[in-house]
Chains A and B, each alone.
Chain A
């Protein structure tokens, strides 16, 4: 199969570094270029030592590399629509970050752009390609738990805002400045916007859609942030399964501008844990464990060193397969729309203090 010629846009998303290795190592991809949004971002990229041309203007990159077939859209949420339009016009396939847009009119336009241009658009929800999640799915499909009563999950991390500032700016993360609730001086656009995985996973694994949600924010662990950093969500699916999600930025971090060793203050940067309670028993899942540990450089603190899995390989393989064989990705814009809608519903619940029905 001919490798897909690919580029990365913006380089401002927290997962950008994952794509450096993925694009470099995957023989099904030919990495042609990157577009860096700022000089600082460009310098960070160049420091990695990849021999890939780096442009400061996206159109210049496309003009100089007319053979680019696909992009990883590694940008802030508020520039996605502009980049969708540009890619659709050029017939360039898109691997989008998890939040194409929170504005449902923009979202509808993205669906329309993809349909009319015939490009492939896949959403980056890499847990679909995680082997621990595959085992959990297998257990459920074999009906080992019987009817499920509750599906609880965490997607908790440190806050990325010091390295990726747009994630702490309501207009860039949520798309506009919307107060969380009356009397609160914070705005939509924080931890909830960063962690859609659990909302996607419950739909995928329970084969049901959301009935209603309740959400509430706690006091910020980082009082200087203008977006929420602690939030809980509970509710029910249409099949009666109850759920509780914690999507907080509840692991403190050193305020590094470039992520690297020593980023974490709490020993563990991130967890996605799932607890499923069913009529025949309970299953506990750590999607990113087990790990190894050290207390060495740079801070001599006890630290969880992740033993990451290969989900990025499976995800990129599917993207290539869809491009080369005219397939629709599992995680496409239409599938993902309800996940975006339910996150918006969570913010409505925070604002009203009431259950919000989907």
Chain B
């Protein structure tokens, strides 16, 4: 399956699982009001999605985040105190906006609490460091950068430290995500992390895109939920940039002033 086939991949899933949809769908933004367009929420920027456009929180379908959320929700770790999130990508694929959008959503999703306040510093519109307080009082760091060389894999870390236990998507005593296959040949060094056999051949961002679109089509109520979260995330990102500009902690609406 090549990178152009994500629409085909989605169609196959819909057919396989007999999910009926009432209108044509696509996984890109188009000037066609008849098509239901499902794209990652940060693609919209701060522009309000049209009625036929659904912002997807694609990362929520990644298995590792599902498991991290489950570990917190099932109190495998108990009483989270500190969240340490980091995400660095290349400037072609990512922007500070898109990384902040992703990480703030993951924070609320895994932390099971809304953002109370943010205090941010940003340099050169390329790197940002945000301290976040959740409504449950947990303290969180979000480090983002788009200064990885073009074509680099994303480097990320999501660690939650609780009174009982720590959970993380990074191996203890390592600095970068690990792969499942390392291939050393005369052609050089390559590595692979395949996570979805039904969608084998797509890269992980494409898999998240297809899976999240499928989830929304399977459970249509989710569309409005994610649309509301999209608007909320745009507000949070505004708060981040306002905090950077004002050198102030900014509280979310309803939070402490």
A residues at B contact (CB < 8 Å): 147, 149-150, 152, 212, 214, 216-223, 230-232, 234-236, 240-244, 246, 248, 250, 252, 266-268, 271, 273, 275, 277-282, 284-286, 289-291, 293, 302, 304, 353-355
Cross-chain contact A214 with B172 (CB below 8 angstroms) = no
Cross-chain contact A234 with B173 (CB below 8 angstroms) = no
Return the 3 tightest CB-CB contacts between A and B, nearest first.
Answer: A218-B139, A244-B129, A150-B127
Q: How far is the CB of B71 from chain A (nearest CB, A)?
A: 15
Is the CB of B161 closer than 8 A to any CB of chain A? yes
Give CA–CA (A354, B124) in the complex, Å: 23
Cross-chain contact A232 with B141 (CB below 8 angstroms) = yes
- Which residues of A sit under 8 angstroms from B254, Cβ to Cβ? none
- Which residues of A sit under 8 angstroms from B88, Cβ to Cβ? 275, 277, 282
B57-97 residues with Cβ-Cβ distance < 8 A to A are 79, 81-82, 84, 86, 88
Cross-chain contact B155 with A218 (CB below 8 angstroms) = no
Cross-chain contact B173 with A150 (CB below 8 angstroms) = no
- The residue in chain B whose Cβ has the minimal distance to the Cβ of A241 is B123
The proximity string for B residues 177-218 relative to A, scoring 1 for CB distances below 8 Å and 0 otherwise, is 000000000000000000000000000000000000000000
Q: How far is the CB of A214 from chain B (nearest CB, A)?
A: 5
- The residue in chain B whose Cβ has the minimal distance to the Cβ of A286 is B175
Q: Beyond the given A240-B123, A243-B121, A281-B149, could you list 13 further A-B residue pairs with CB under 8 A, ordered by the A residue number?
A: A147-B124, A150-B129, A152-B143, A221-B161, A231-B139, A235-B121, A275-B86, A277-B127, A284-B176, A285-B175, A304-B172, A353-B249, A354-B248
Cross-chain contact A234 with B119 (CB below 8 angstroms) = yes
- The residue in chain A whose Cβ has the minimal distance to the Cβ of B119 is A214
Cross-chain contact B121 with A234 (CB below 8 angstroms) = yes
Instruction: Return 20 A-B CB contacts under 8 Å, by A number.
Output: A149-B145, A150-B123, A152-B143, A212-B247, A214-B119, A214-B249, A216-B133, A217-B139, A218-B138, A223-B163, A232-B139, A232-B141, A240-B124, A244-B121, A248-B161, A250-B82, A277-B147, A281-B147, A281-B149, A284-B176
- Which residues of B sit under 8 angstroms from A219, Cβ to Cβ? 79, 81, 137-139
Cross-chain contact B149 with A248 (CB below 8 angstroms) = no
Cross-chain contact A304 with B173 (CB below 8 angstroms) = yes
Cross-chain contact A278 with B147 (CB below 8 angstroms) = yes
- The interface residues of chain B, by DSSP majority, are classed as strand
Partner of A244, one of B79, B81, B131, B247: B131
Cross-chain contact A268 with B131 (CB below 8 angstroms) = no
Q: How far is the CB of A241 from chain B (nearest CB, A)?
A: 6
Give CA–CA (A81, B162) in the complex, Å: 38
Cross-chain contact A291 with B131 (CB below 8 angstroms) = no
- Which residues of B sit under 8 angstroms from A216, Cβ to Cβ? 119, 131, 133, 139
Cross-chain contact B249 with A268 (CB below 8 angstroms) = no
Cross-chain contact A282 with B123 (CB below 8 angstroms) = no
Cross-chain contact B139 with A266 (CB below 8 angstroms) = no
Cross-chain contact A243 with B166 (CB below 8 angstroms) = no
Q: How far is the CB of B159 from chain A (nearest CB, A)?
A: 9
The proximity string for B residues 115-131 relative to A, scoring 1 for CB distances below 8 Å and 0 otherwise, is 00001111110111111
The proximity string for B residues 137-158 relative to A, scoring 1 for CB distances below 8 Å and 0 otherwise, is 1110101010111000001000
Cross-chain contact B161 with A242 (CB below 8 angstroms) = no
Cross-chain contact B121 with A236 (CB below 8 angstroms) = yes
Give CA–CA (A244, B79) in the complex, Å: 24
Give CA–CA (A153, B120) in the complex, Å: 16
Q: How far is the CB of B143 from chain A (nearest CB, A)?
A: 5
- Which residues of B sit under 8 angstroms from A240, Cβ to Cβ? 123-124
- Which residues of A sit under 8 angstroms from B139, Cβ to Cβ? 216-219, 230-232
- Which residues of A sit under 8 angstroms from B161, Cβ to Cβ? 221, 230, 248, 250
Cross-chain contact A246 with B84 (CB below 8 angstroms) = yes
Q: How far is the CB of B242 from chain A (nearest CB, A)?
A: 13
In the complex where A216-B133, A230-B81, A282-B155 touch, is A266 in contact with B166 (Cβ < 8 A)?
Answer: yes
- Which residues of A sit under 8 angstroms from B172, Cβ to Cβ? 266-268, 302, 304
- Which residues of A sit under 8 angstroms from B81, Cβ to Cβ? 218-221, 230, 250
Q: How far is the CB of B248 from chain A (nearest CB, A)?
A: 7
- Which residues of B sit under 8 angstroms from A231, Cβ to Cβ? 139
Give CA–CA (A56, B18) in the complex, Å: 82
- Which residues of A sit under 8 angstroms from B147, Cβ to Cβ? 149, 277-282
Q: How far is the CB of A71 from chain B (nearest CB, A)?
A: 35
Q: How far is the CB of A220 from chain B (nearest CB, A)?
A: 7
- Which residues of B sit under 8 angstroms from A235, Cβ to Cβ? 121
Q: How far is the CB of A271 from chain B (nearest CB, A)?
A: 8
